[in-house]
Amino acid sequence: MNYKVIFSDLGYVIFMIGLFMLCPLLVSVYYKEDIKYFVIPILISIITGSFLILFFKNRQNKESFYDKEAIIIVVIGWLSASIFGSMPYLFASVSPLDALFEAMSGFTTTGSTILLDIESYSRGLLFWRNMTQWLGGMGIIVFFFTVLPSISPSSLHLIKKEASFMTIEKIRPRIRDTARIFCGIYMLFTVIETILLLFCGLPLYDALCTTFTTVSTGGFHPRAESIAYYNNLTVEIIVMVFMFLSSINFALHYRALNGRIKDFIKDEEFRFYLSVVLLSIGITTINLALKINNGDFLVSLRYVSFNVISIVTATGFSTVDFSSTTFWTHSSMFILLILMLLGGCTGSTSGGIKAGRVYLTFKFIAREFKHILHPNAVIPLKYNGRVISDGIINKIFSFVLLYLLLFVSISFILMLMGYDPATSLSAVATTMENCGPGLGRIGPFENFAFFNPIAKLLLIFSMLAGRLELFIVLVLFMPAFWKR
């Protein structure tokens, strides 16, 4: 195990966290708030990161870096970012565990919160809270190690491990170049949405905070009422559009920018994903119009469109309390729970199982029915014109099975602790999918503060495992991993 490379690369992650904290510090200075939330955390992060970089930089053995080190750096890197990123909350009288929960929820773009009165906290702290989601949207390791110059021989391994979607489809021969293009598109979305929200009359502070957590499909918001605070249809449409765009494979956006817009329609995952979204909106709109809104389809369509897209993209914004039977039916809540597990497309900022995996699972099942009818037929499984090997199918099934197994296991443990089934199931679904709000006691205008410490630790683990797609985190618990 090359611990020197591990500590050196972790130093860059911690150092960059300290640098980015300068942004909320400037916000606090502008609004004449107490700057203690950031001065000490910035110093601690920069000093710690600099020490690790300088002390281990010239002691790296660049020839002995393997997947094992990459996995450790990715997992510990996310933990380190969350630990150092949680320090500003400590100065706001938030307990260490709750501060870690909030920071992990931010960096993993989950959006679940333990803060009781959001708007009572300083603007600088809330800006940092939203900014953590923007940093985590493309992945902490991917973002830092592609924006910076070549800083380590390990960066290629790290990008492959954290951004597993890039191993599916590269738009450039070098995976690092692919990651940089995706980050560029991510920043382009950030700039465009911010400008559009400013035109809608939002203050710069609100526009930036909203954009940070829209393009990252994160869901944090500086207003307690989330997007409902503005009661502005134009704002809702803009946010909807960018939530949806951010949940689509960024390779398709790159092709569209190069004149290949038809590739959206050609892509099987996108067609499946779009069909699921439109079908969910249609069914839920009719359901609510007939049973809740006295036949008013337009009002139902407005609320359903926004909240369905928010949930399926794993963002977590809300314009209505969909956990309450006053506004949402039980059958519609069930649809949202399914969408939480589905998530967005591969190669996007969304969480969840991913539409591509679900789609291929359905295609495999359909092929098995064909084999029953035609036992001797050779029926290749194709995806976007390419034959999918059995090895890839096995990996997809393994992921889906492990995802559901972990979902059921953690949910059952929460139920054993005394939490009701709706709260337990949706808490795990929303943290594993990195969605944010759930059902029951953790609805869109509620929080996770009532969970006991052990439950919070389980949900923190659920966020991290879901964000890093399970295997990278769980493999650390295998004794064989630590053997030479």
Exposed, middle or buried by CB within 10 Å (0-12, 13-18, 19+), for 414? buried
Ramachandran quadrant class, 56 (left: phi over 0; alpha: psi -120 to 50; beta: rest): alpha
Check residue 162 and give its pLDDT: 57
Cα distance between residue 388 and residue 269, in whole Å: 14
| 80 in Cβ contact with 10 (< 8 Å) | yes
Cα distance between residue 271 and residue 279, in whole Å: 12
Specify the DSSP class assigned to residue 383: E
Amino acid identity, position 477:
F
Phi, psi for residue 382 in degrees, rounded to 5 = -110, 145
Give first-to-last CA distance, the chain, whole Å: 7
Cα distance between residue 484 and residue 482, in whole Å: 6
Q: Is the dihedral of CA 234, 236, 240, 243 positive or negative?
A: positive
The pLDDT profile of the chain, 484 residues, written as one tens digit per residue, is 777 878 888 998 999 999 999 999 999 999 999 898 899 999 999 999 999 988 887 555 555 566 777 788 888 989 999 999 999 999 999 999 999 999 999 999 999 999 988 999 999 999 999 999 999 988 776 766 665 544 455 555 555 555 544 344 555 656 667 778 888 999 999 999 999 999 999 999 999 999 999 999 998 999 989 999 999 999 999 999 999 999 999 989 999 999 899 989 999 999 999 999 999 999 999 999 998 878 789 999 999 999 999 999 999 899 988 888 788 888 999 999 899 889 899 888 888 889 999 999 999 999 889 888 888 888 888 888 888 888 888 888 898 899 999 999 999 999 999 999 989 999 999 999 888 888 888 988 888 999 999 999 999 999 999 988 888 888 888 888 777 6
Phi, psi for residue 383 in degrees, rounded to 5 = -140, 115
Render 323-362 in DSSP notation, one character per residue: TSTTTS-HHHHHHHHHHHHH-S-TTSS--SS-HHHHHHHH
* Radius of gyration from C-alpha coordinates of the chain: 22
E strands of 245-348, at which residues?
Answer: none
| 242 in Cβ contact with 214 (< 8 Å) | yes
Cα distance between residue 451 and residue 441, in whole Å: 10
Check residue 305 and give its pLDDT: 96
Structure tokens, 27? 């916000």
Whole-angstrom CA distances from 17 to 37, 91, 301 are 14, 17, 41
